[in-house]
Amino acid sequence: MKFVFEFLFICLCLFACDPTGEASFDTLRIDDGPTQETEEIIVQPIEGETLNELSNESLEVIFIEREAIEKGLSVGKTKFVQEMNLQLRAFNISESYKQSTVPPAKKKDCEFVWKEDSVSDYDCQYLADQALISVFAKLQNTLDENPLDEEKFQNNRDDNEFWFENGTVNGFFNEAAAAVYSLDDIANCGQNTTVQADAYAAGVEEGRILMIDEINVILLGAGLGEYPDSVQQIDVCSANLAILEPSKSKASEKSATLPFCEGYEPTELSELEKFQNARKQFETGVSAGIETEFNLAAEKLFRIIPCNVSDPFAFSEEPLRLLPISRRVKFELNSDGLPEFVQWVCEQPFLVVELNGIAGVQDGKELLVDDDFMNHTEIFFWEDGNCDGVSQINEISRQFFFDFSKVQSVNLKNWKAARL
């Protein structure tokens, strides 16, 4: 599930001109930029093992694991609500936060680039972030207080506990995303904000929009409806992987070309500095927004793919020893320029290659799965001895023999991705 935690939109604005032809700040309008050709949607069915192909025994295991995820989602959201209210009390806010939902993504205009910063002790994003930090600090206590005691969870208990943890963490993240939008009604935290905070919020919306658009390229192309409101049930168990990861990668790629406040020209040095800082926050917000919508979509797809428990990834032939979620590491698994928190495999070797002449493992492109190894003549082992997600020269072995003729594929069954 990535996590991660992980919460963005493009602001285009032009000065309107009065009848004299001079720029006026009284009227603002959104400029959608140059007209772009509509991306052609190619019908591409999503393939993989389907609900009808699973045995009754497999379905029984899957349904119990899904119950563990559902319980985790409920626990995570409930715990976040509790911590959010503790944060509100700390700021002498008497109103209570209640579980809410994230509204549709919406572009914002760019008026914040010339507004004066307001003085405030907090904004909505800050309050939600503080509660999120708090729930993660108490993650193990939350899991201990909500054990999977029911008899049905005892078979395959390790797997059930794994998915329960992931559900809990996803619940944290998604309720935190919802809180940012709902808190203004409770705490008026959206009123007195800074230029940088507004720019970050604008970026979040644009990032969400990018992710939504890319998800729909896949869903509409497969004839599965439109995310988030009209997606049909999907019976391909691994469809979440075919939808989420490619969408995130494409959205991240497109985020690099997003314009920021087109038409605005700073005229003074102080304005230029403020504008540049706002642009940096906007870009950070875009990345956060992509991650936020990824997590929201993971939960949505979990509910409409009845046989989905997030099919696991793996790079080892032996059963993998996963670190606890609380010891996740940052690693650029998707090779999209965005390092993310993943549940890590420690002290067991990965099959890796070194691309572009750079020593060490840079990102997920250099971790080999399935038949990837057939395309490389030099393959190494990386055993992350200190469990930090960063390859060290002394952790990579270059002295071993690999008999390709006897290998059909690398077992993908035992390494579960930290995503719903």
Residue 338's pLDDT is 66
Summarised one tens digit per residue, pLDDT across range 31-53 is 334 344 445 555 577 877 888 88
Residues 268 and 381 in one domain: no
**Residue ranges making up the domain that contains 335:** 325-406
CA 258/CA 300 separation, integer angstroms:
27
Residue 13's pLDDT is 30
Cα distances from 218 to residues 221, 297, 310, 357, 374, in angstroms, run 5, 13, 18, 34, 29
Residue 415's pLDDT is 36
Report if residue 413 sits inside a domain: no
Average pLDDT, consecutive stretches of 10 residues, N- to C-terminus, the chain (420 residues): 31 30 30 44 72 88 93 97 96 93 91 64 87 92 94 90 90 95 87 81 95 96 93 88 89 93 83 87 94 93 83 40 63 68 68 69 69 59 78 69 42 37
Residues 166 and 277 in one domain: yes
Residues 296 and 365 in one domain: no
Residues 360 and 229 in one domain: no
Summarised one tens digit per residue, pLDDT across range 224-239 is 999 999 999 999 887 8
Report if residue 35 sits inside a domain: yes
Q: Is 383 helix (H, G, I), strand (E, B) or coil?
A: strand
Residue 300's pLDDT is 93
Number of domains in the chain: 2
Pick the closest to residue 76 from 99, 48, 97, 57 (CA basis): 99
DSSP string, 322-344: BPPGGG-EEE-TTSSS--EEE--
Residue 63's pLDDT is 93
Looking at the DSSP bridge assignments, the partners of residue 341 are: 330
Report if residue 4 sits inside a domain: no
Residues 41 and 151 in one domain: yes
Task: Tell whether pTM > 0.85.
Answer: no
Taking each helix axis from N to C end, the angle separating 269-304 and 239-255, rounded to the nearest 10 degrees, works out to 170
Are residues 274 and 195 in contact, defined by beta-carbon separation less than 8 angstroms?
Answer: yes
Residues 369 and 227 in one domain: no
Residues 200 and 99 in one domain: yes
Report if residue 419 sits inside a domain: no
Residues 230 and 345 in one domain: no
CA 50/CA 48 separation, integer angstroms:
6
Choose one of 237, 270, 304: the last residue of a domain.
304
Q: What is the mean pLDDT of the chain?
A: 76
Report if residue 309 sits inside a domain: no
The burial of 302, by beta-carbon neighbours within 10 Å (0-12 exposed, 13-18 middle, 19 or more buried), is given as buried
Report if residue 33 sits inside a domain: yes
Report if residue 412 sits inside a domain: no
Summarised one tens digit per residue, pLDDT across range 381-416 is 777 778 787 888 777 765 444 444 444 333 333 333
Residue 316's pLDDT is 41
Residue 8's pLDDT is 27
Report if residue 315 sits inside a domain: no
CA 203/CA 108 separation, integer angstroms:
9
Residues 203 and 299 in one domain: yes
Residues 399 and 250 in one domain: no
Contacting residues for 257 by C-beta, under 8 A, at least 6 apart: none
Residues 141 and 266 in one domain: yes
Residue 418's pLDDT is 36
Q: Please give the structure tokens belonging to residue 97.
A: 């936060």
Residues 30 and 129 in one domain: yes
